[in-house]
Amino acid sequence: MRVLVYLPNPVPAFQPTAPQLAALAARLPGHELVSVGSEQELLAALPGAEAAVVWRFGRAWYPLAPKLRHLFTPSAGREPFEVEPSAPVQHHFGRFHGAIMAESLLAMLSFLNRRLGDALAAQHRQSWDRSPFSGCRRLHGQVVSIIGFGAIGQRCAQLLSALGMRVYGLRRDMSQPSPFATRLFTPEQLPEALAEADHVVCVLPGDTGTSKLIDAQAIARMKASACVYNIGRGNSIDTEALGRALREGRLAGAFLDVQPDEPLPPGSPLWSVPNLYLTPHASAISVEYLDLYFDELARELEKLA
């Protein structure tokens, strides 16, 4: 199979290196891997391609690729591919992200749970203030509700349950139990899953009708001591309602890795919300990102040999 690889990206960890591409090719002697460096080169090579590994694929490109049968992307979201119903092409999305994102979530949980934001503020004031830490509790025994209990959510649950946290998972498909969840909830049971949680984690995709699922009404059901996290897609939380709750002291803290509109504009009020911490859609960024993905990709392509 002739496989085109076109993965330009402004994030260095998402841009393949020559050694990474060479290692991928060495694992796939039954395939011809062709790495291209520009969109023009990609379009010129598409007529002979049976598979392509890309960050995105435009609908107008399908007619240029009559032999194309498989499209691969490292992305977990469905956004990279514009669908062409008449094209007999299978779409393959990355499933490896949980290994990185679970550690990012643990860092966020630990940061808020151990009051490290207070420690940074005291450092800036040059104040030796130990009083905020008297309210700290171990993560062990606390309840974390993971809203969106798919592959990434379950990888997070595996790590957090190993620390002794009680994991609640919310998902539509209740047919399969999870060894890492204390309880499973349906979407209709969201109020109950929120009310009992010390930490509420959103790991929702952006295209499943869950926009602003965590709205003012949902936030009102949470404990005032609870913290909210989003490592899925930015549209699942009503950030205006979240900001109001934090300013009014109706939530203890929040950590958002994603926003409804990215990048977050400089004038956004979210930059200055108290006890709100932001990362720039970085929960899956790691130097090992493409190593993990290429290992997964190789296994998938080996099946097609």
Q: Residues with Cβ < 8 Å from 107, sequence gap 6 or more? A: none
Catalytic-labelled residue, pool 70, 166, 199, 281 = 281
Catalytic-labelled residue, pool 70, 92, 115, 233 = 233
126 phi-psi bin (left φ>0, alpha ψ -120 to 50, beta other): left
Q: b/e for 245-259, b at 16 or more Cβ within 10 A?
A: bbeeeebbbbbbbbb
Q: Residues with Cβ < 8 Å from 183, sequence gap 6 or more? A: 168, 169
Tell how far CA 205 is from the center of its chain: 8
Q: For the beta carbon of residue 292, count every other beta carbon within 10 angstroms.
A: 18
Distances in Å between the alpha carbon of 184 and those of 33, 169, 179, 220?
A: 43, 5, 11, 21
Tell how far CA 202 is from the center of its chain: 9
Distances in Å between the alpha carbon of 177 and those of 150, 168, 169?
A: 12, 12, 10
Instruction: For residue 44, give the nearest of 64, 21, 23, 17 by alpha carbon.
Output: 64
Concerning whether 262 is annotated as a catalytic residue, the answer is: yes
Concerning whether 281 is annotated as a catalytic residue, the answer is: yes
Tell me which H or E stretch contains 255. Answer: strand 253-256
Catalytic-labelled residue, pool 82, 262, 300, 302 = 262
Concerning whether 221 is annotated as a catalytic residue, the answer is: no
What are the catalytic residues? 233, 262, 281
